[in-house]
Amino acid sequence: MPEGSLLAACRRDGAYADCYIAYIDRDVTQSQFVAAFYTTWVFRLERLILKWCVSKPSTDADARALAAGTANTFAALRVEARGENEILLADFTGRTRSWLKTVPIVGPRTRLYFGSAVIPVRSAATGQANLGRNFGLLLGFHKLYSRMLLTAARAKLSRPKN
């Protein structure tokens, strides 16, 4: 995870944060990456779950508006911070963050980053930060799913333009 990134700031106070990287052999803008990421078949499944389970519907057009910077909410997410080549989104509960970043590399080539954070809650009784009892149970699935999301976005960006 790059120091100074929007996601790096989430690591303080006992938060869990991860970072996955993929490379693509072409120039990709931040907007293209965000749009591709949130319109992959993998994330469309998540969007369907969010629609039915927490009444947070979204469309591909909503994802493109988020990517273009003309919307600050998408599905169950809201923009917490934006930079020139990165975006940090918080879920509607405030407990998790999603982060996407692009870095151009000579070639043309682009490094794609995807990361997430789980924010601990403080116990009223003890004052200690805790990630929750389900965190450990779901961590393996989370890591696999994160890699699937990034791989799907990279594949979508790799397809020739129609």
**Using an 8 Å Cβ cutoff, are 31 and 68 in contact?**
yes
DSSP string computed for 9-38? GGGGGG-EEEEEEEEESS---HHHHHHHHH
Q: What is the pLDDT of residues 21-66, one digit of tens each?
A: 999 999 999 999 999 999 999 999 989 988 888 888 899 999 999 9
Q: Does domain 8-158 have CATH number 3.30.530?
A: yes
Q: What value does the CA radius of gyration of the chain take, rounded to a whole number of Å?
A: 16
Torsion of CA 142, 143, 144, 149, to 10 degrees: 80
Peptide bond into 104 cis (omega under 30): no
Alpha helices in 23-132 (DSSP H): 30-38, 41-54, 60-68
Q: What is the pLDDT of residues 73-117, one digit of tens each?
A: 999 999 999 998 999 999 998 888 999 999 999 888 999 999 999
Q: Helix 30-38 and helix 60-68: axis angle, to 10°?
A: 160
Measured from the Cβ of residue 72, the count of other Cβ atoms closer than 10 Å reads 13
pLDDT of residue 162 exceeding 50: no
Q: Which of 29-38, 62-71, 135-144, 148-157 has the lowest mean pLDDT?
A: 135-144
- pTM comes to 0.89
Q: Where are the domains of the chain?
A: 8-158
Q: Which of 85, 60, 58, 94 is nearest to 73 (CA)?
A: 58
Across all residues in the chain, what is the average pLDDT? Answer: 89
